Amino acid sequence: MNGRIAALLRDLAAVQKSKQSMWGYKRAARSVLALEEPIESLLQPDGTLRKIPNVGPASSRVILEVLQTGTSPTVERAIAESGQATDVERRRDLRGHFLSRAQVVAALRNPKLAGPRLDDYKGDLQMHSTWSDGSQTLDEIVAAGIERGYSFCAVTDHSYGLPIAGGVSMAKLFEQHRAIDRLNKKFKGAFRLIKGIEANIRADGSVDMTPSELAELELVVAAPHSSLRVATDQTARMIAAVETPGVHIIGHPRGRMYGSRPGVTADWDRVFAAATRENVAVEIDGDPARQDVDYDLAKRAVAAGCLFALDSDAHSTGELSYVETAIAHARLAGVPTDRVVNCWPTERLLDWLRSRAARATTSAR
Protein backbone atom coordinates (compact mmCIF):
# COMPACT_ATOMS: atom_id res chain seq x y z
CA MET A 1 0.00 0.00 0.00
CA ASN A 2 2.86 2.42 0.79
CA GLY A 3 4.32 1.80 -2.65
CA ARG A 4 0.95 2.17 -4.39
CA ILE A 5 0.21 5.48 -2.69
CA ALA A 6 3.71 6.84 -3.35
CA ALA A 7 3.34 5.93 -7.02
CA LEU A 8 0.04 7.81 -7.26
CA LEU A 9 1.59 10.86 -5.62
CA ARG A 10 4.39 10.70 -8.21
CA ASP A 11 1.74 10.51 -10.95
CA LEU A 12 0.11 13.61 -9.52
CA ALA A 13 3.46 15.38 -9.35
CA ALA A 14 4.12 14.61 -13.02
CA VAL A 15 1.02 16.47 -14.22
CA GLN A 16 1.41 19.63 -12.12
CA LYS A 17 1.82 22.96 -13.89
CA SER A 18 3.36 24.54 -10.80
CA LYS A 19 6.90 23.46 -9.92
CA GLN A 20 6.14 24.11 -6.28
CA SER A 21 3.22 21.68 -6.39
CA MET A 22 5.27 19.16 -8.33
CA TRP A 23 8.05 19.13 -5.73
CA GLY A 24 5.51 19.05 -2.92
CA TYR A 25 3.92 15.85 -4.20
CA LYS A 26 7.36 14.32 -4.89
CA ARG A 27 8.44 15.04 -1.32
CA ALA A 28 5.23 13.48 -0.04
CA ALA A 29 5.83 10.38 -2.19
CA ARG A 30 9.36 10.02 -0.81
CA SER A 31 8.09 10.31 2.75
CA VAL A 32 5.47 7.61 2.20
CA LEU A 33 8.04 5.27 0.63
CA ALA A 34 10.35 5.89 3.59
CA LEU A 35 7.79 4.93 6.24
CA GLU A 36 8.94 1.91 8.24
CA GLU A 37 5.37 0.82 8.96
CA PRO A 38 2.33 0.17 6.76
CA ILE A 39 0.54 3.43 6.17
CA GLU A 40 -2.73 1.84 7.27
CA SER A 41 -1.37 1.84 10.82
CA LEU A 42 -1.30 5.66 10.74
CA LEU A 43 -5.06 5.89 10.24
CA GLN A 44 -6.69 7.28 13.39
CA PRO A 45 -10.13 6.35 14.80
CA ASP A 46 -11.61 9.64 13.56
CA GLY A 47 -10.62 8.79 9.98
CA THR A 48 -7.69 11.21 9.80
CA LEU A 49 -4.01 10.43 9.41
CA ARG A 50 -1.28 10.82 11.97
CA LYS A 51 1.18 13.50 10.85
CA ILE A 52 3.69 12.33 8.23
CA PRO A 53 6.67 14.64 7.52
CA ASN A 54 6.36 16.51 4.20
CA VAL A 55 2.79 15.30 3.66
CA GLY A 56 0.35 18.20 3.48
CA PRO A 57 -3.47 18.34 3.21
CA ALA A 58 -3.59 17.75 -0.56
CA SER A 59 -1.41 14.64 -0.34
CA SER A 60 -3.31 13.43 2.74
CA ARG A 61 -6.54 13.61 0.74
CA VAL A 62 -5.06 11.29 -1.88
CA ILE A 63 -3.81 8.89 0.80
CA LEU A 64 -7.22 8.72 2.48
CA GLU A 65 -8.95 8.13 -0.86
CA VAL A 66 -6.70 5.15 -1.57
CA LEU A 67 -7.08 3.72 1.93
CA GLN A 68 -10.85 4.00 1.70
CA THR A 69 -11.47 2.94 -1.90
CA GLY A 70 -8.24 1.43 -3.26
CA THR A 71 -7.85 4.22 -5.80
CA SER A 72 -7.73 8.01 -6.02
CA PRO A 73 -10.32 9.91 -8.07
CA THR A 74 -8.28 13.07 -7.44
CA VAL A 75 -5.22 11.61 -9.18
CA GLU A 76 -7.10 9.98 -12.04
CA ARG A 77 -9.04 13.20 -12.73
CA ALA A 78 -5.83 15.26 -12.77
CA ILE A 79 -4.20 12.83 -15.19
CA ALA A 80 -7.20 12.82 -17.53
CA GLU A 81 -7.34 16.62 -17.58
CA SER A 82 -3.58 16.98 -18.16
CA GLY A 83 -3.41 15.26 -21.54
CA GLN A 84 -0.36 13.34 -20.27
CA ALA A 85 -2.00 9.97 -19.66
CA THR A 86 0.33 8.13 -22.07
CA ASP A 87 3.47 9.43 -20.35
CA VAL A 88 2.06 8.69 -16.90
CA GLU A 89 1.29 5.13 -17.96
CA ARG A 90 4.84 4.74 -19.29
CA ARG A 91 6.26 5.84 -15.95
CA ARG A 92 3.97 3.45 -14.09
CA ASP A 93 5.52 0.58 -16.03
CA LEU A 94 8.95 1.61 -14.68
CA ARG A 95 8.08 1.11 -11.01
CA GLY A 96 7.80 -2.65 -10.89
CA HIS A 97 9.57 -4.73 -8.23
CA PHE A 98 10.63 -1.75 -6.12
CA LEU A 99 10.29 -2.19 -2.36
CA SER A 100 9.04 0.46 0.01
CA ARG A 101 10.93 0.90 3.27
CA ALA A 102 8.10 -0.87 5.10
CA GLN A 103 8.51 -3.89 2.81
CA VAL A 104 12.28 -3.85 3.41
CA VAL A 105 11.76 -3.89 7.17
CA ALA A 106 9.23 -6.71 6.86
CA ALA A 107 11.60 -8.82 4.74
CA LEU A 108 14.46 -8.28 7.17
CA ARG A 109 12.29 -9.37 10.11
CA ASN A 110 10.46 -12.28 8.45
CA PRO A 111 11.82 -15.50 10.02
CA LYS A 112 10.31 -17.60 7.20
CA LEU A 113 12.65 -16.07 4.60
CA ALA A 114 15.99 -17.71 3.95
CA GLY A 115 19.10 -15.88 2.82
CA PRO A 116 21.43 -13.33 4.39
CA ARG A 117 20.59 -11.44 7.56
CA LEU A 118 21.99 -8.14 8.73
CA ASP A 119 24.16 -10.02 11.23
CA ASP A 120 25.76 -12.01 8.39
CA TYR A 121 26.85 -8.89 6.53
CA LYS A 122 30.55 -8.09 6.90
CA GLY A 123 31.15 -5.17 4.54
CA ASP A 124 30.00 -2.95 1.68
CA LEU A 125 31.68 -3.31 -1.71
CA GLN A 126 30.33 -0.31 -3.61
CA MET A 127 30.54 3.24 -2.31
CA HIS A 128 31.84 6.62 -3.41
CA SER A 129 34.04 9.14 -1.64
CA THR A 130 35.03 12.78 -2.02
CA TRP A 131 37.59 11.60 -4.57
CA SER A 132 34.77 11.38 -7.15
CA ASP A 133 31.09 12.25 -6.60
CA GLY A 134 30.67 11.24 -2.96
CA SER A 135 30.57 13.45 0.14
CA GLN A 136 32.29 11.02 2.53
CA THR A 137 36.03 11.01 3.15
CA LEU A 138 38.07 7.81 3.40
CA ASP A 139 38.41 8.35 7.17
CA GLU A 140 34.64 8.72 7.48
CA ILE A 141 34.07 5.52 5.50
CA VAL A 142 36.36 3.60 7.85
CA ALA A 143 34.77 5.11 10.97
CA ALA A 144 31.24 4.41 9.73
CA GLY A 145 32.16 0.86 8.71
CA ILE A 146 33.62 0.10 12.13
CA GLU A 147 30.56 1.63 13.80
CA ARG A 148 28.32 -0.68 11.76
CA GLY A 149 30.39 -3.69 12.79
CA TYR A 150 31.94 -4.26 9.35
CA SER A 151 35.25 -6.03 8.78
CA PHE A 152 35.89 -4.34 5.43
CA CYS A 153 34.59 -1.86 2.86
CA ALA A 154 35.60 -1.06 -0.68
CA VAL A 155 36.01 2.45 -2.07
CA THR A 156 34.77 2.31 -5.67
CA ASP A 157 34.94 5.83 -7.03
CA HIS A 158 34.08 6.32 -10.68
CA SER A 159 36.75 5.66 -13.29
CA TYR A 160 38.14 8.45 -15.46
CA GLY A 161 35.89 7.43 -18.37
CA LEU A 162 32.89 8.96 -16.60
CA PRO A 163 33.88 12.63 -16.10
CA ILE A 164 30.27 13.67 -15.44
CA ALA A 165 30.54 11.74 -12.13
CA GLY A 166 33.94 13.15 -11.25
CA GLY A 167 35.84 10.15 -12.60
CA VAL A 168 39.24 9.68 -10.96
CA SER A 169 42.41 9.94 -13.06
CA MET A 170 45.04 7.24 -12.63
CA ALA A 171 47.35 9.77 -10.98
CA LYS A 172 44.66 10.62 -8.43
CA LEU A 173 43.88 6.93 -7.99
CA PHE A 174 47.47 6.16 -7.02
CA GLU A 175 47.30 9.03 -4.54
CA GLN A 176 44.10 7.55 -3.11
CA HIS A 177 45.81 4.17 -2.80
CA ARG A 178 48.57 5.69 -0.67
CA ALA A 179 45.92 7.18 1.61
CA ILE A 180 44.20 3.77 1.84
CA ASP A 181 47.53 2.12 2.69
CA ARG A 182 47.95 4.55 5.59
CA LEU A 183 44.48 3.77 6.91
CA ASN A 184 44.96 0.02 6.58
CA LYS A 185 48.22 0.27 8.51
CA LYS A 186 46.46 2.27 11.24
CA PHE A 187 43.51 -0.16 11.55
CA LYS A 188 45.34 -3.41 10.77
CA GLY A 189 43.50 -6.36 12.25
CA ALA A 190 40.36 -4.34 12.91
CA PHE A 191 39.24 -3.15 9.50
CA ARG A 192 40.33 -3.47 5.86
CA LEU A 193 39.69 -0.76 3.25
CA ILE A 194 39.77 -2.25 -0.25
CA LYS A 195 41.14 -0.39 -3.28
CA GLY A 196 38.33 -0.46 -5.80
CA ILE A 197 36.86 1.33 -8.80
CA GLU A 198 33.49 1.54 -10.54
CA ALA A 199 34.47 1.16 -14.16
CA ASN A 200 32.08 2.14 -16.92
CA ILE A 201 30.81 -0.49 -19.37
CA ARG A 202 30.97 0.99 -22.85
CA ALA A 203 28.39 0.26 -25.54
CA ASP A 204 30.54 -2.55 -26.99
CA GLY A 205 30.95 -4.23 -23.60
CA SER A 206 34.52 -3.14 -22.99
CA VAL A 207 35.35 -1.23 -19.81
CA ASP A 208 36.89 2.22 -19.83
CA MET A 209 40.22 1.17 -18.32
CA THR A 210 43.16 -0.73 -19.81
CA PRO A 211 44.17 -4.20 -18.57
CA SER A 212 47.27 -2.75 -16.90
CA GLU A 213 45.14 -0.14 -15.10
CA LEU A 214 42.62 -2.75 -13.93
CA ALA A 215 45.53 -4.79 -12.56
CA GLU A 216 46.28 -1.93 -10.13
CA LEU A 217 42.94 -2.41 -8.37
CA GLU A 218 41.94 -4.94 -5.74
CA LEU A 219 38.27 -4.76 -6.73
CA VAL A 220 36.60 -3.76 -9.99
CA VAL A 221 32.86 -3.11 -10.21
CA ALA A 222 31.86 -2.79 -13.88
CA ALA A 223 28.54 -1.01 -14.43
CA PRO A 224 26.53 0.39 -17.37
CA HIS A 225 25.89 4.14 -17.44
CA SER A 226 24.75 4.62 -21.06
CA SER A 227 22.14 3.19 -23.47
CA LEU A 228 19.77 2.71 -20.55
CA ARG A 229 16.59 3.93 -22.23
CA VAL A 230 16.66 1.87 -25.43
CA ALA A 231 14.88 -1.40 -26.13
CA THR A 232 17.76 -2.82 -28.19
CA ASP A 233 19.04 -6.17 -26.95
CA GLN A 234 22.37 -5.69 -25.14
CA THR A 235 23.13 -9.26 -24.11
CA ALA A 236 26.48 -9.28 -25.94
CA ARG A 237 27.48 -6.04 -24.22
CA MET A 238 26.85 -7.42 -20.75
CA ILE A 239 28.49 -10.79 -21.41
CA ALA A 240 31.57 -9.04 -22.76
CA ALA A 241 31.81 -7.05 -19.53
CA VAL A 242 31.43 -10.19 -17.43
CA GLU A 243 34.24 -11.85 -19.39
CA THR A 244 36.64 -8.92 -19.01
CA PRO A 245 39.73 -10.08 -17.04
CA GLY A 246 39.91 -8.34 -13.69
CA VAL A 247 36.19 -7.55 -13.32
CA HIS A 248 34.79 -8.87 -10.03
CA ILE A 249 31.24 -7.51 -9.86
CA ILE A 250 28.66 -6.42 -12.41
CA GLY A 251 27.20 -3.38 -10.67
CA HIS A 252 23.51 -2.38 -10.94
CA PRO A 253 23.37 -4.53 -14.11
CA ARG A 254 20.32 -2.92 -15.71
CA GLY A 255 20.98 0.67 -14.66
CA ARG A 256 17.25 1.19 -14.14
CA MET A 257 15.83 4.12 -12.17
CA TYR A 258 12.49 4.28 -10.39
CA GLY A 259 9.82 5.70 -12.67
CA SER A 260 12.25 7.19 -15.20
CA ARG A 261 14.20 4.56 -17.17
CA PRO A 262 13.97 0.81 -17.77
CA GLY A 263 17.69 0.15 -18.05
CA VAL A 264 19.49 -2.44 -20.13
CA THR A 265 17.46 -5.01 -22.05
CA ALA A 266 19.22 -8.39 -22.22
CA ASP A 267 18.79 -12.14 -22.09
CA TRP A 268 19.64 -12.17 -18.41
CA ASP A 269 19.72 -15.94 -18.14
CA ARG A 270 22.64 -15.96 -20.60
CA VAL A 271 24.34 -13.12 -18.73
CA PHE A 272 23.93 -14.95 -15.41
CA ALA A 273 25.27 -18.17 -16.93
CA ALA A 274 28.36 -16.24 -18.07
CA ALA A 275 28.77 -14.70 -14.61
CA THR A 276 28.65 -18.14 -13.01
CA ARG A 277 31.19 -19.48 -15.49
CA GLU A 278 33.54 -16.53 -14.88
CA ASN A 279 33.03 -16.48 -11.08
CA VAL A 280 31.85 -12.86 -11.30
CA ALA A 281 29.32 -11.60 -8.75
CA VAL A 282 25.98 -10.04 -9.71
CA GLU A 283 25.16 -6.97 -7.67
CA ILE A 284 21.95 -6.10 -5.90
CA ASP A 285 22.31 -2.34 -5.55
CA GLY A 286 20.37 -1.11 -2.54
CA ASP A 287 19.97 2.53 -3.57
CA PRO A 288 16.16 2.94 -3.18
CA ALA A 289 15.94 4.52 -6.66
CA ARG A 290 17.87 1.61 -8.24
CA GLN A 291 17.09 -1.68 -6.42
CA ASP A 292 18.94 -3.45 -9.21
CA VAL A 293 18.78 -6.39 -9.68
CA ASP A 294 15.44 -6.88 -7.96
CA TYR A 295 14.23 -9.97 -6.11
CA ASP A 296 12.44 -11.44 -9.12
CA LEU A 297 15.44 -11.21 -11.46
CA ALA A 298 17.72 -12.30 -8.61
CA LYS A 299 15.81 -15.59 -8.38
CA ARG A 300 16.97 -16.37 -11.92
CA ALA A 301 20.55 -15.54 -10.97
CA VAL A 302 20.23 -17.90 -8.00
CA ALA A 303 19.04 -20.66 -10.34
CA ALA A 304 22.02 -19.98 -12.61
CA GLY A 305 24.43 -20.48 -9.70
CA CYS A 306 25.66 -16.88 -9.44
CA LEU A 307 27.63 -15.23 -6.69
CA PHE A 308 26.10 -12.00 -5.36
CA ALA A 309 27.31 -8.66 -4.03
CA LEU A 310 24.86 -6.71 -1.88
CA ASP A 311 25.87 -3.07 -1.78
CA SER A 312 24.62 0.35 -0.73
CA ASP A 313 26.10 2.43 -3.58
CA ALA A 314 26.44 5.03 -0.82
CA HIS A 315 27.67 8.52 -1.64
CA SER A 316 27.52 9.57 2.03
CA THR A 317 27.80 7.71 5.32
CA GLY A 318 24.08 8.27 5.88
CA GLU A 319 23.35 6.16 2.81
CA LEU A 320 25.18 3.08 4.09
CA SER A 321 21.80 1.88 5.39
CA TYR A 322 20.71 1.45 1.75
CA VAL A 323 22.31 -1.98 1.94
CA GLU A 324 19.29 -3.09 3.96
CA THR A 325 17.22 -2.77 0.78
CA ALA A 326 19.71 -5.00 -1.06
CA ILE A 327 19.59 -7.58 1.73
CA ALA A 328 15.76 -7.53 1.65
CA HIS A 329 15.76 -8.30 -2.09
CA ALA A 330 18.27 -11.11 -1.51
CA ARG A 331 16.05 -12.63 1.19
CA LEU A 332 12.96 -12.40 -1.00
CA ALA A 333 14.92 -14.11 -3.79
CA GLY A 334 16.23 -16.85 -1.51
CA VAL A 335 19.89 -16.06 -2.18
CA PRO A 336 22.04 -18.54 -0.21
CA THR A 337 24.16 -16.67 2.34
CA ASP A 338 27.30 -18.52 1.31
CA ARG A 339 26.96 -17.08 -2.21
CA VAL A 340 27.00 -13.49 -0.94
CA VAL A 341 30.59 -12.24 -1.09
CA ASN A 342 29.84 -9.51 1.49
CA CYS A 343 29.15 -12.26 4.03
CA TRP A 344 32.51 -13.98 3.61
CA PRO A 345 35.38 -13.65 6.09
CA THR A 346 37.90 -11.04 4.97
CA GLU A 347 40.57 -13.51 3.86
CA ARG A 348 38.13 -15.55 1.79
CA LEU A 349 36.93 -12.36 0.12
CA LEU A 350 40.50 -11.22 -0.59
CA ASP A 351 41.41 -14.64 -2.02
CA TRP A 352 38.49 -14.36 -4.46
CA LEU A 353 39.47 -10.81 -5.38
CA ARG A 354 43.06 -11.90 -6.04
CA SER A 355 41.97 -14.80 -8.22
CA ARG A 356 40.03 -12.48 -10.52
CA ALA A 357 42.69 -9.75 -10.42
CA ALA A 358 45.32 -12.29 -11.50
CA ARG A 359 43.55 -12.59 -14.85
CA ALA A 360 43.86 -8.84 -15.38
CA THR A 361 47.57 -9.02 -14.62
CA THR A 362 48.02 -11.83 -17.13
CA SER A 363 46.00 -9.94 -19.74
CA ALA A 364 48.13 -6.81 -19.22
CA ARG A 365 51.36 -8.62 -20.09
Residues 180 and 216: their CA atoms lie apart, in Å, by 13
Residues 242 and 236: their CA atoms lie apart, in Å, by 10
Superfamily of domain 2-93: DNA polymerase beta, N-terminal domain-like (1.10.150.110)
pLDDT (tens, 9 = 90+) of the chain, 365 residues, equals: 999 999 999 999 999 999 999 999 999 999 999 999 999 999 999 999 999 999 999 999 999 999 999 999 999 999 999 999 999 999 999 999 999 999 999 999 999 999 999 999 999 999 999 999 999 999 999 999 999 999 999 999 999 988 888 899 999 999 999 999 999 999 999 999 999 999 999 999 999 999 999 999 999 999 999 999 999 999 999 999 999 999 999 999 999 999 999 999 999 999 999 999 999 999 999 999 999 999 999 999 999 999 999 999 999 999 999 999 999 999 999 999 999 999 999 999 999 999 987 776 676 66
pTM metric for this prediction: 0.95
What are the boundaries of each domain within the chain? 2-93, 113-364
Which of helix, strand or coil describes residue 154?
A: strand
Cross-strand partners of 250? 222, 282
Topology classification of domain 113-364: TIM Barrel (3.20.20)
- Give me the numbers of helices (H) and strands (E) for the chain, helices first please: 14, 7
